[in-house]
């Protein structure tokens, strides 16, 4: 008779349970781009903004960011972590030796101010950056790209472990599933009655508890998530605005445009044009 395996649990009393974060995809990064250029001739760009996060590192000194009038140099002994929707200028008075990551954070931290964060280089961070830069210089191909992805993910996890980020408040099990659904299926029915029923609560109690743990009403959280995902699609794909509206739960492009303008200060078409001019940075 075949013996039964002894350990079928996802967690044990001896470890730190991370299954809740994993189930809701709260511990993962969605990496949009990893890049390295040893000599960018023109790295001067005003009003850089995006719906995703950025990680910058320049192995050679000389370039800097300008944020609200403050000059922030990009030094070999530091990294620059830039939260989503932060507006800044890239200033390159010389050729820029520049490494970057563009990525989305899935509720990995609590509330974060929209301003660049300088992190001092640590041995682990330096070794990971050196490794991904070295991989970038291998011949193009699927194997290289997969290696870049894994190394970039490892770097991001190391950066966020080093950064003293505000932690999110632990969520009840019933809300983890709701947040995962909102993130993974923005086109679906995400009305208060449907989400309340899914969580096993009355609508009033669901709204109150959701706001207690997230700081937002369910409707506001759903709209913010849909707009963020729409912004990513505008910046990173060639899908039509109609397609993006449908895939992210907006009834039509006109409603998306109205909500998008209210959130980002410009319409989807203008936002896409500005982002496409800045691709690769």
- For residue range 10-60, what is the model confidence (pLDDT) as tens digits? 555 566 555 554 554 444 677 888 999 999 988 998 888 777 899 999 999
Residues 6+ apart with CB under 8 A from 231: 50, 51, 260, 264, 271
H-run or E-run covering 245: helix 241-247
In tens, the pLDDT along 75-89 reads: 999 999 999 889 999
For domain 173-277, give its CATH number from 1.10.1060.10, 1.10.10.60, 1.10.3720.10, 2.40.400.10. 1.10.10.60
Alpha-carbon distance of 80 to 84, in angstroms, equals 13
Q: CA 179 to CA 35: how far, in whole Å?
A: 31
pLDDT of residue 192: 95
User: Binning pLDDT at 50, 70 and 90, where does residue 280 land?
Assistant: very low
Q: How high is the pLDDT of residue 241?
A: 95
Instruction: Look at residue 137 and tell me whether its pLDDT is greater than 50.
Output: yes
C-beta of residue 107 within 8 angstroms of C-beta of residue 22: no
Highest mean pLDDT among 11-15, 25-29, 199-203, 234-238: 199-203
Domain boundaries, the chain: 23-162, 173-277
51: left (phi over 0), alpha (psi -120 to 50) or beta: alpha
pTM of the model: 0.69
The CATH H-level (homologous superfamily) assignment of domain 23-162 is Regulatory protein AraC (2.60.120.280)
Rounded Cα–Cα distance for residues 257 and 135 (Å): 40
At residue 107, the pLDDT reads: 59
Q: Which residue, 126, 119, 113, 118, is CA-closest to 65?
A: 118
């Amino acid at each position: 008779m075949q013996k039964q395996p002894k350990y079928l649990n996802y967690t044990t009393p001896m470890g730190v349970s991370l299954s809740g974060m994993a189930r809701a995809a709260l511990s993962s990064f969605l990496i949009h781009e990893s890049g390295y250029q040893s000599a960018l001739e023109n790295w001067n760009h005003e009003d850089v903004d995006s719906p995703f996060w950025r990680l910058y590192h320049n192995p050679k000194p000389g370039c800097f960011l300008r944020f609200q009038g403050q000059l922030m140099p990009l030094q070999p002994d530091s990294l620059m972590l830039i939260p989503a929707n932060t507006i800044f200028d890239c200033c390159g008075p010389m050729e820029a030796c520049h490494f970057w990551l563009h990525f989305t954070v899935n509720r990995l931290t609590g509330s974060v101010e929209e301003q660049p964060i300088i992190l001092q280089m640590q041995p682990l961070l330096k070794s990971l950056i050196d490794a991904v830069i070295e991989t970038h210089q291998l011949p193009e191909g699927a194997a290289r790209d997969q290696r870049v992805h894994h190394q970039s993910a490892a770097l991001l996890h190391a950066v966020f472990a080093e950064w003293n980020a505000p932690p999110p408040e632990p969520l009840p099990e019933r809300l983890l599933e709701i947040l995962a659904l909102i993130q993974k299926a923005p086109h679906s029915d995400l009305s208060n009655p449907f989400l309340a029923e899914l969580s096993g609560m009355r609508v009033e109690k669901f709204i109150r508890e959701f706001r207690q743990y997230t700081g937002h009403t369910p409707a506001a959280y759903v709209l913010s998530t849909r707009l963020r995902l729409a912004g990513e699609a505008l910046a990173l794909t060639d899908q039509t605005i109609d397609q993006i509206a449908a895939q992210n739960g907006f009834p039509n492009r006109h409603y998306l445009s109205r909500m998008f303008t209210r959130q980002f200060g410009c319409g989807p078409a203008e936002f896409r044009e500005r982002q496409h001019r800045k691709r690769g940075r």
